[in-house]
């Protein structure tokens, strides 16, 4: 748990942690995607938003995910992350909100996911989830995010499956891998890589 760890308290703090990290980029793909790790404030604490996908979606209904989706033609990852944030939960952030990126993560469903760190804590935001895409939006404080992951071995892979404890259950990769790296880089100031972390078999499609 957090213990005596001093979490970032300002945009400058988060920016410094992101700037000190050298993200690993995977060569561009026709299946490029981006997700938004948006630092916001709620109840006096900093944290990020997590969504639960709508139950009516054709792929991964009901699963927990960061706001995000495909990178459209002519877009870059930061632009796609900002656009998806607006489309999914109704929060529009300017290009100046982009703080940087974490490692690209290759998913079992064939996407190269680029995590983009955004700053949205300078003003209040009215979250309005799109019913077609999002069932619910959660705020996860830095303290709640600062948990040790659990790992399990599966016969289908030689990589460990990461499971991030959250409330009464677990978050799974790719979301758990991205959030774990955010915890390591931004909250703990550690250069931790996640390419070697596996997704559960149910996410392999």
Predicted confidence (pLDDT) per residue in 100-122, tens digit: 999 999 999 889 999 999 999 99
Identify whether 89 is part of a domain. Answer: yes
70: pLDDT strictly greater than 90: yes
Contact criterion met (CB below 8 Å) for 80 and 71: yes
Do 46 and 132 form a contact (C-beta atoms < 8 A)?
Answer: no
Query: What pLDDT score was predicted for residue 202?
Result: 85
Q: pLDDT band at residue 1, thresholds of 50, 70 and 90?
A: very low
| 4 has pLDDT over 80 | no
What's the mean per-residue pLDDT of the chain? Answer: 93
Domain encompassing residue 87: 11-203
Assigned domain for 192 exists: yes
In angstroms, rounded to a whole number, what is the distance separating the alpha carbons of residues 150 and 148?
7
Residue 3 domain flag? no
Handedness of CA 71, 91, 53, 108 (dihedral sign): positive
Residue 50 lies in a domain: yes
Question: In this structure, are residues 67 and 36 in contact, taking their beta carbons and an 8 Å threshold?
Answer: yes
CATH of residue 88's domain is 3.90.79.10
Does 4 fall in a domain?
A: no
Could you tell me if 75 and 82 are in contact, meaning their C-beta atoms sit under 8 angstroms apart?
A: no
User: pLDDT band at 85, cuts 50/70/90?
Assistant: very high
Tally of domains within the chain:
1
According to DSSP, residue 119 is labeled E
**Is there a domain that residue 147 lies in?**
yes
Q: CB-based contacts of 194: which residues, under 8 Å, 6+ apart?
A: 103, 105, 162, 177, 178, 180, 181
How confident is the model at residue 2, as a pLDDT? 43
pLDDT confidence of residue 55: 76
How far apart CA 49 and CA 61 sit, in angstroms, is: 18
Residue 2 lies inside a defined structural domain of this protein: no
Q: Where are the alpha helices (DSSP H) in the chain?
A: 11-19, 77-89, 142-145, 175-182
72 lies in some domain:
yes
């Amino acid at each position: 748990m957090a213990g005596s760890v001093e979490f970032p308290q300002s945009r400058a703090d988060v920016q410094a942690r992101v700037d000190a990290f050298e993200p690993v980029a995977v060569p561009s793909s026709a299946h490029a995607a981006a997700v938004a790790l948006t630092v916001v404030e709620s109840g006096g604490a900093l944290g990020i938003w997590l969504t639960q996908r709508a139950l009516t979606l054709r792929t991964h209904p009901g699963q927990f995910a960061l706001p995000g989706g495909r990178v459209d033609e002519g877009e870059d990852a930061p632009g796609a992350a900002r656009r998806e944030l607006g489309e999914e939960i109704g929060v529009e952030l300017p290009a100046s909100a982009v703080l940087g990126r974490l490692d690209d993560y290759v998913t079992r469903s064939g996407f190269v996911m680029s995590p983009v760190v955004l700053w949205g804590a300078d003003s209040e935001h009215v979250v309005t989830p799109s019913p077609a895409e999002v069932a619910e939006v959660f705020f996860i404080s830095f303290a709640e995010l600062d948990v040790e992951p659990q790992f399990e071995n599966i016969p289908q892979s030689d990589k460990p499956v990461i499971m991030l404890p959250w409330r009464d259950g677990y978050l799974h990769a790719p979301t758990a891998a991205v959030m774990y790296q955010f915890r390591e880089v931004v909250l703990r100031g550690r250069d931790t890589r996640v390419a070697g972390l596996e997704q559960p078999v149910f996410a392999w499609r």
